[in-house]
Each structure stands twice: as C-alpha cells, then as structure tokens.
Amino acid sequence: MANKIRFGFVGTGRISDWVLKGAFLDPRFSLEAICSRSKERAEAFAAKYGVKKTFTDVEEMASDPDVDAVYIGTPNATHKDIAIKAMNKGKAVLCEKPMASNAAEVREMIAAAKANDVLLMEAMISTLNPNFKEAVRYMDEISPVRHWSSSFCQYSARYEKLLGGEVTSVFDPAMAGGAIMDIGIYTIYPMVRLFGKPDSLCASLRTLPVPDGSLIDVSGSIQFSYPGMHASVIYSKTDDSFLPTEIAGEKGNILLDQIHITRKAEYIPHSAPTSGRGLPPERQDITCSMDGDEYQCEFREFIDLLTYSKKESAVNSLQTSLTVMEIIDEARRQNGITFPSDKI
C-alpha cells in the first residue's frame, strides 16, 4: 500500500463534498477516483478536486490497483450492492450511515467483509467525535447509568418538498429513506455503542403516505429497556429541538449539546443526596478542542485502521452497525413501515 490511502468516491452529492473537507485535513488521505452514474457528473466533480480518474461503474473503479479504499456517499438502499462489489475486488469500504436498508443487508455486507478479509466501517461521526470520546471517559465516574436520553430534531427543506408532493431520496421508501434512517440513527447509534442491544423497545413513529401508497416516517420517539436502565430518544425532520443528550447515572450526569456533532460536553458530579433544596450542582466543562472539520474524525479512524491492517473499528464496530439496524427494523415493523428492499 502506498504512503497515502488512495480513495475512490462513489456519488457526487453534497455528502461527498462535505466529508472531503474533513478528509483532506488528514495528510494520509488522497482522492484518486470518482464514480458517478453519469460521466459528466463524475468529470465535473473530479475537476473540482483535481482528480484525473473517473468511472461510471463501481466494479471498474474498485478493480483499479491505484484505489485502496472506497467511500460510499449514495442513498441508503444502494449501499449494500456498492459495498459488496468493492469488497469483492479486495477494497476497504467506508460506508455512509445507515450501513444499509435493513439488518439482512448488513449481515450480507459483514459476510463479504469477512470473506474478502477487508475493512468495512460505517461512517458514523457521532461516536468518533472527540467530545463524545472524552465524555465516554467519564462513564465510570457516573455509573451505574440509569438513563440515556437523546434528541435530534431538525426541520428539513426536504420535508417541505414531501408535503408538496416531491419525494426526495431521504423520504423515498425505494431508497430506504425516512427520518429514523436519516437522523434518528444519530440518537440510537451512540446508545448502542455505550450500552449494547436493549432488551426491548417501543417505537412511536409519525408517518406520512408517499404517492405509491407506502408509508415513510418523518419523526418519532422510542423507549428502550436495558437491564437496570431505560433509554428514550426523539428525532424529527418536521421541527427543531435544542435539547441536549444526557447520560444520567447514580453518581452524576454527562451532557452533550448535540448528539450528531458534540461541540460542548459537560460532566456534573452528583454532590450529595438532596430533597430538593440543595445547591445547584457544579457543571464541569469537559469539552476538548475540536478537529478542523467534523468529518475528519471518521477518516482518521478509518485510515488508522487501514494503516495497522485492522479489519474492523473497535468504536464503530460491525456488531454496532448490525444491532442499530436490527433496532431500526423493529421500530419500522412496529409502525408498519416497509421498504422494497425488505422483500428479498
């Protein structure tokens, strides 16, 4: 492998642009090739970044010996096929969240990663964020944990389009869209990273019909039961929320200002048992200095793993990706949401 990790990017949408800003901050990153469904779009995107190689076929790009790794920035329902094609050509894969349409597809992807002995990682930035990692170091201080409470609600322009009858990929069942897949996942993934698989869950999702008659969720709330603790999450693409994420333990609390990208983290040690008239608790700011860009952390993790010939991240593990998808499958099942990709 060359000194730099040479990436081939699939998809020329806004997420590819977004993550590249962070990727280029890692001196070990190099952009080698662009793959798009359209030759013109591939060439236009490549020209913007001074990249010479363009492709319209993922397998051709993944067969190129100068490509070490493939980043997938395409709609959810396309992840599995693209990832497996790349892995079958021996390439490491960094795949946008959610890893796939459903748990069955994630299992196929994990099997392909193992069969080809290649690295596969979900591009979930929340758990790799420096402030989240710092906060995790305080878990022992607050344990035993009794509650995880997380919120990610952001009014979306694409919700307005949906109301106007235009179904973009983020709300398209054929693309395995919906709010839980798009932003609900940010409240669930870090919870699974910290506490594993819940014993049970009860999901209440608000759904709207799309023109083909199927349902898609636009917001939701989910309650989870764990041994000795509860968890609750809310997410929405129809309204904003500024609620922080809180990890509450018997010996203290951790507050994260935003779960998708934590910019401020606080630790609040539980001082003394009170009956309601104690002094307000002292908040300790445990925020660290952020990277130059919020997406840098996922490339740092992925390139570190490749550099040390690791096939899996200990943070964004394959089991975490699978458990998260199983949870989302169950939340959809409880609310009558199915995707064409569920009917294999």
Ligand X SMILES: NC(=O)c1ccc[n+]([C@@H]2O[C@H](COP(=O)([O-])OP(=O)(O)OC[C@H]3O[C@@H](n4cnc5c(N)ncnc54)[C@H](OP(=O)(O)O)[C@@H]3O)[C@@H](O)[C@H]2O)c1
b/e for 117-135, b at 16 or more Cβ within 10 A? Answer: ebbbbbbbbbbbbbbbebb
Q: Nearest to residue 122, comparing CAs of 103, 102, 106?
A: 106
Q: Is 58 in the site for ligand X (CB under 6 A)?
A: no
Q: Cβ 272 to ligand X, closest distance in Å?
A: 41
Q: Which of the stretches 24-32, 37-45, 126-134, 281-289 binds ligand X when contact is defined by CB under 6 A?
A: 37-45
- Residue 88, C-beta contacts closer than 8 angstroms, at least 6 positions apart: 62, 112, 116
Window 241 to 300, contacts with ligand X (CB under 6 A): none
Binding residue for ligand X, selected from 15, 113, 205, 256, defined by CB under 6 A: 15
Q: Which of the stretches 8-16, 143-151, 305-313, 314-322 binds ligand X when contact is defined by CB under 6 A?
A: 8-16
Q: Is 41 in the site for ligand X (CB under 6 A)?
A: yes
Q: Cβ 182 to ligand X, closest distance in Å?
A: 6
Q: Cβ 300 to ligand X, closest distance in Å?
A: 15
* Residue whose token pair is 């060359």: 2
- The H or E element spanning position 215 is strand 215-226
**CB contact at 8 A, 302 and 69:** yes
Q: What would the x/- binding string for ligand X be over residues 105 to 124, using CB under 6 A?
A: ------------------x-
Binding residue for ligand X, selected from 96, 122, 301, 329, defined by CB under 6 A: 96
Binding residue for ligand X, selected from 3, 14, 50, 276, defined by CB under 6 A: 14
Q: Is 74 in the site for ligand X (CB under 6 A)?
A: yes
Q: How many residues bind ligand X (CB under 6 A)?
A: 21
Q: Is 76 in the site for ligand X (CB under 6 A)?
A: yes
Q: Is 36 in the site for ligand X (CB under 6 A)?
A: yes
Q: Is 127 in the site for ligand X (CB under 6 A)?
A: no
- The rounded distance, in Å, linking the Cα atoms of 183 and 129 is 16
Q: Cβ 193 to ligand X, closest distance in Å?
A: 16
Binding residue for ligand X, selected from 8, 12, 122, 245, defined by CB under 6 A: 12
Q: Is 170 in the site for ligand X (CB under 6 A)?
A: yes
Binding residue for ligand X, selected from 37, 107, 133, 311, defined by CB under 6 A: 37
b/e for 258-280, b at 16 or more Cβ within 10 A? Answer: bbbbbeebbbbeeeeeeeeeeee
Count CA atoms within 13 Å of residue 57 on its CB side: 5
Nearer to ligand X, 138 or 186 (CB): 186
Sign of CA dihedral 202, 207, 210, 212: positive
- The rounded distance, in Å, linking the Cα atoms of 276 and 119 is 52
- The rounded distance, in Å, linking the Cα atoms of 303 and 29 is 8
* Region label for 165, one of left (φ > 0), alpha (ψ between -120 and 50) or beta (otherwise): left
Instruction: Give the Cβ contact number of residue 59 at 10 Å.
Output: 13
Q: Is 20 in the site for ligand X (CB under 6 A)?
A: no
Nearer to ligand X, 116 or 154 (CB): 154
Q: Which of the stretches 73-81, 209-217, 272-280, 333-341 binds ligand X when contact is defined by CB under 6 A?
A: 73-81
Cis ω for the linkage preceding 144 (within 30 of 0): yes
- The H or E element spanning position 149 is strand 145-153
Q: Is 182 in the site for ligand X (CB under 6 A)?
A: yes
Binding residue for ligand X, selected from 31, 62, 69, 73, defined by CB under 6 A: 73
Q: Cβ 15 to ligand X, closest distance in Å?
A: 4
Q: Is 49 in the site for ligand X (CB under 6 A)?
A: no
Neighbour order of strands in the sheet with 145-153 = 200-209, 215-226, 229-236, 145-153, 245-249, 252-256, 265-269, 284-285
- The H or E element spanning position 323 is helix 318-334
Q: Cβ 91 to ligand X, closest distance in Å?
A: 17
**Chain residues that interact with ligand X, rule: CB under 6 A:** 11-15, 36-38, 41, 73-76, 78, 96-97, 123, 125, 169-170, 182
